Structure 1
């Protein structure tokens, strides 16, 4: 992958925004990268990979825990399964692919509902229950993500990790994007708000089905760049264009509340104005974004040919920090820099 570096001061406000967030959340390190018009225009690394007395500085090969940003990779795997016919249609019922599930609870729930967080299911102490009818409301619940990874593996015979390694990581020579069962020196330590945070879970699975994915800032930017270029890198179609469009175009079912977030294949997409969107007001229609609990954010703005990434090794929101307002303003800051360039 050939991306020229042409750093300039016009995107300094993005660095200021990331630095401000870095000072407000509980973390030890951060990074930010912006790609515009096939050039890296901003690339900065802040702090250290941990709070240890002798800690490795955050640098180009530092890999951050991306939390829910991993959903964009799962969305890709589902799009792969749809494109190659392993999944017939995203409006197929989940029970078509997992008939062993409780029919009374899962009836009328489609793969589209899972992809757009509109399935209405939740889980407590291993028991699945229904919160609302499929398509009625929006809520992010882990059970939907786990079911998608199960369907991918059952239909394709490959794990999410297998699909990503074979069709993206190996062809593009990514070495800083993976699911890990063991720590190594390039992984930034996740800084918890308090000891024994119940939301923090460790897994030994490397199948792509659990929340243990680490990615460097530059490879997360490259992942966004692959989508921005519709699967074509350096003049070669690495991934079929249709896989990218499936993942990043609006797939949410029609809902009674237009202010609910809008999704593609797990990506948040900017379509009609929605009060509960995580994408900034100034970010144009057709853009898409993914956000993790660690504050890691990947924003793609096709209209402006831009990819923007921010990375932190925080976990969750400290008191007084509004993560939704912060991530929205990140996108708006990027757009403000673009207005400056145009003027």
Structure 2
């Protein structure tokens, strides 16, 4: 079995070396069984660093958006958010209504809102809602705070109660303290790696850590529409809200397509972060420190990959490398 994965393993290892990541992990779930676990390298670039192992917990950066997306899907399913097409001004009274204009919840969860925030905290508009696509942080903060307001608890607390405990998750945490299980993040290969920790566990910071195994399990929960081992942990409709195309119809057909923050493969688009060989209906989430989670329902397949180097795939070719990993995954099971 391992022989069919060798090309993918070699690709992961090659990128690890080229990007100066000190460690890598790769977990593949096929037909609800783990068929491959690959771990290599070390927790940091320090000489005495621990080797990467099955319980190593990586900072997953923007992969956390898929967790927020599930919380938003719950809010929609339970009527706390009436519709994706509700005006944002209904929920964010503290924002300038003229600035929000016709921005909807749909725009906020598909990166099509057009809002941006300067270093001094000023929020401004880059483009009209629904008329473009830009990967910004303001919408993530807005939706994180909205879930807190709607449920009276943070989205990590909501997921702990609704998903993590029933799923048996033990290695997925918003971390505020160092631990020997945590993999440090490399910002520059000539500088010591450091822990990416937050001041809080409320989801407002990029301090989510998880193991490659549990990231793959997160993907497998979505693949199975919220059911694991015959037990329905998350309502099917919640998963579908999160992972089906939800963005507005763009005039520019090159723009990526999104579910609730997930990248979704629908019609091929030049700016998609999923490769052109990945089947329709697949979805992916990724982060700046190198993690990628790819779910391919057509192949009943989930692949989780981890690195610990910030700004992987830097330069003009970053989009090629983001797409190519999912292409390599698809090639492994090309039918």
> What TM-score results when the alignment is normalised by the length of structure 2?
0.95
| Dislocated runs of 4+, deviation >4 Å | 318-321
Unaligned runs of 5+ in 2: none
Q: In the superposition, relative to structure 1, how do residues 150 and 319 fare at CA in structure 2: closer, same or farther (>3 Å)?
A: closer
Query: Are the counterparts in 1 of residues 25 and 305 from structure 2 also a CA contact under 8 Å?
Result: yes
Aligned residue for 2:17, secondary structure, equals helix
Match of 1:156 in 2: 151
In the TM superposition, what are the counterparts of 1:202-281 in structure 2 within 5 Å? 203-281=198-276
Map of 1:170 onto structure 2: 165
| Partner Cα distance (2:197, 2:166) in 1 | 29
Computed over aligned residues only, the root mean square deviation of the Cα atoms, in angstroms, reads: 1.7
The corresponding residue for 2:186 is 191
Mapped partners of 1:44, 1:26: distance in 2: 18
Contact 1:294 1:314 in 2 (8 A): yes
Question: SS of 1:114's equivalent?
Answer: helix
Determine if the alignment matches structure 1 residue 313 to structure 2 residue 315.
no
* 1:3 match: none
Counting only pairs closer than 5 Å after superposition, residues 1-343 of structure 1 correspond to structure 2 as 7-124=1-118, 125-193=120-188, 203-317=198-312, 322-339=317-334
Q: 2: distance between equivalents of 1:338 and 1:87?
A: 39
Per the TM alignment, residue 319 of structure 1 is displaced from its structure 2 partner at its CA by: 5.6
TM-score (norm 1): 0.93
- In 1, Cα distance between the equivalents of 2:299 and 2:87? 37
Give the C-alpha shift of residue 26 in structure 1.
2.4
**Structure 1 unmatched ranges of 5 or more:** 1-6
CA deviation vs aligned residue, 1:88-129 (integer Å, no higher than 9, x gap): 111111111111211111121111001000000000111000
2: CA distance between counterparts of 1:291 and 1:209?
18
Whether the 8 Å CA contact 2:20–2:189 is kept in 1: the answer is no
